Amino acid sequence: MRVILHMDMDAFYAAIEQRDDPSLKGKPVIVGGSRKRGVVSTASYEARPFGVHSALPMAQALRRCPQAVVLPVRMKHYAQVSRKIMAVLDSFSPLVEPLSGDEAFLDMTGSHHLFGAPDEMARAIKNAVLEATALAGSVGIATNKFLAKLASELDKPDGITWVPFGRERAFIAPLPISKLWGVGPKAAGRLQELGLARIGDVAVADPGWLHQELGSLGDHIHALARATDIREVVCGRKRKSVGSERTLENDISGQRAVERHLRRQCERVARELRRKNLKARVVRVKLRYSQTFQLATRDGPLPMACDDSATLFSTAQGLLNRLEMDAPIRLVGAAAYDLCEPGQAIQADLFAQPRAEKHLKLERTLDKIRERFGDKLQRGASDED
Ligand code: TTP
Ligand code: MG
């Protein structure tokens, strides 16, 4: 049995600002873009009861909470703090997987000899981070990544939630389906229509019917609702990814334009995956806003380990719902994570859909053509990683 811990810092950017300027402590603080046209990056817990949250247009945030102190994003500074946090986490386990600047998974299996029971481990880690950075975070502990991440959100801020081993399914059953990894607002609406409101409803639903109604998303959420998630914490080494992004000559905005660029980046990522003979289980979307220079990212699980652009793009497209697209955007990117070699990707074969297979064949043929004749179309784009 594994012991997986997920730590996520509380109101990360805003908490750093409050730490650096004690006169802001206890006050509603919003970090984000300009007052007129920007979006909220995050809000301190004092601002949240007013309905202020990440990705909300700043103008709206200020109508909801006019007394808030608004501060610009100091990305370099936050990145420095993030490195400190990760260094502390590294001292607790050789298996630490940062997910973003303020959160990471730790595989603590077998560490009870060193740090005691899981809740004591969590307390020790929180204390060490607090000592090093004067910042608080929340921790979830469980037997897999999905549950640990879900748990870390349940008692925010400054909480520890331990999902009792062996009682995982009962623990998550009453939670709303939106807590399932990969279920955005669109998918949540579809699930509601099917009469599935809570995680427990999905767990007891017939898997054949779920697949029929939802395709591979049905398989995916059925596994999660039954508290199974076999993804490993990616060990010590740097988390591998394949990414492609492009800084645009002219700013764009609006869903259609973003999707056009995103599709192109997904094609490039898929091609690189195939070249390296890898498949991915997670896709990430990246947008950088022109006015604030802020980078926003969203991750989502792929319905199966894959290396075709159609699957990457359809999942990436779903993630856009959770990003601001009306503000001017200067960069669009996609990246693939949780990489594995095709042999490891048993799920891909189980759930492979004929259409994806056909499309993949076509993409492989195109790869060969590009190998022989070069790819004039791609000139000018910049790669990452
Ligand atoms: P989160 O961990 O999602 O949020 P948070 O740490 O501010 O608050 P919570 O206590 O709920 O965890 O994101 C970490 C940082 O990433 C956040 O402080 C600001 C940045 N961010 C954005 O810039 N845009 C976004 O849309 C989100 C969600 C986060
Ligand atoms: Mg956080």
Q: Give per-residue pLDDT as tens, 285-302.
A: 999 999 888 889 998 888
Q: Indicate if ligand 1 lies below 6 Å from the C-beta of 12.
A: yes
Residue 199, pLDDT above cutoff 70: yes
Residue nearest to atom 24 of ligand 1 (CA): 41
Residue 307 in contact with residue 273, Cβ under 8 Å?
yes
Q: What percent of the chain has pLDDT over 70?
A: 90
How would residue 310 be classed by pLDDT, with cut points 50, 70 and 90?
very high
Within 8 A by CB and 6+ apart from 63, the residues are none
Ligand 1 geometric centre to CA of 11 (Å):
6
Q: Indicate if ligand 1 lies below 6 Å from the C-beta of 8.
A: yes
CA distance 93 to 234: 12
For residue 352, the 8-state DSSP code is -
To 10 degrees, what angle do helices 255-275 and 309-319 make? Answer: 140
Q: Indicate if ligand 1 lies below 6 Å from the C-beta of 102.
A: yes
Q: Indicate if ligand 1 lies below 6 Å from the C-beta of 9.
A: yes
Of 6, 9, 12, 105, the residue with max ligand 1 atoms within 8 A of its CB, to mutate for a pocket test, comes to 12
Residue 50, pLDDT above cutoff 60: yes
Residue 376, pLDDT above cutoff 70: no
Question: Nearest ligand, CA of residue 287?
Answer: 1
Ligand 1 geometric centre to CA of 73 (Å):
12
Ligand 1 geometric centre to CA of 137 (Å):
12
User: Which range is most confident: 108-112, 173-177, 288-292, 367-371?
Assistant: 173-177
Q: Indicate if ligand 1 lies below 6 Å from the C-beta of 299.
A: no
Closest listed residue to residue 7, CA positions, set 117, 194, 135, 193: 135
CA distance 238 to 240: 6
How would residue 345 be classed by pLDDT, with cut points 50, 70 and 90?
very low
pLDDT tens digit sequence for 234-288: 754 455 789 999 899 899 999 999 999 999 999 999 999 999 888 898 899 999 9
> Average pLDDT, stretch 73-79?
89
> Average pLDDT over the chain, rounded to whole?
87
CA distance 321 to 184: 7
How would residue 382 be classed by pLDDT, with cut points 50, 70 and 90?
very low
How would residue 304 be classed by pLDDT, with cut points 50, 70 and 90?
confident
> Average pLDDT, stretch 215-241?
78
Q: Indicate if ligand 1 lies below 6 Å from the C-beta of 157.
A: yes
> Average pLDDT, stretch 106-125?
93
Question: Nearest ligand, CA of residue 8?
Answer: 2
Closest ligand 1 atom to Cα of 40: 24
Tokens of 156: 């925010």
pLDDT of residue 365: 77
* Long-range CB contacts for residues 169-175, cutoff 8 Å, separation at least 24: 169/200, 169/203, 169/225, 169/226, 169/227, 171/147, 172/147, 172/199, 172/200, 172/225, 172/227, 173/198, 173/199, 173/200, 173/203, 174/198, 174/199, 174/200, 175/150, 175/199
Q: What percent of the chain has pLDDT over 90?
A: 63
Q: pTM for the whole thing? A: 0.72
Residue 16, pLDDT above cutoff 70: yes
> Average pLDDT, stretch 106-112?
92
Q: Give the DSSP per-residue string, 141-179.
A: EESSHHHHHHHHHHT-SS-EEEPPTT-HHHHHTTSBGGG
pLDDT of residue 355: 54
How would residue 375 be classed by pLDDT, with cut points 50, 70 and 90?
low
Which residues are catalytically annotated?
A: 103
Q: Indicate if ligand 1 lies below 6 Å from the C-beta of 308.
A: no
Ligand 2 geometric centre to CA of 12 (Å):
5
Q: Indicate if ligand 1 lies below 6 Å from the C-beta of 253.
A: no
How would residue 358 be classed by pLDDT, with cut points 50, 70 and 90?
low
Ligand 2 geometric centre to CA of 103 (Å):
7
Residue nearest to atom 4 of ligand 1 (CA): 11
Q: Indicate if ligand 1 lies below 6 Å from the C-beta of 199.
A: no
Of 42, 58, 103, 156, the residue with max ligand 1 atoms within 8 A of its CB, to mutate for a pocket test, comes to 42
Residue 222, pLDDT above cutoff 90: yes
> Average pLDDT, stretch 346-356?
42
Q: Give the DSSP per-residue string, 222-253.
A: HHHHTT---PPPPPSSPPP-EEEEEEEEEEE-
| Size of the chain, expressed as the number of residues it contains | 385
Question: Nearest ligand, CA of residue 295?
Answer: 1
Ligand 2 geometric centre to CA of 72 (Å):
18
pLDDT of residue 84: 95
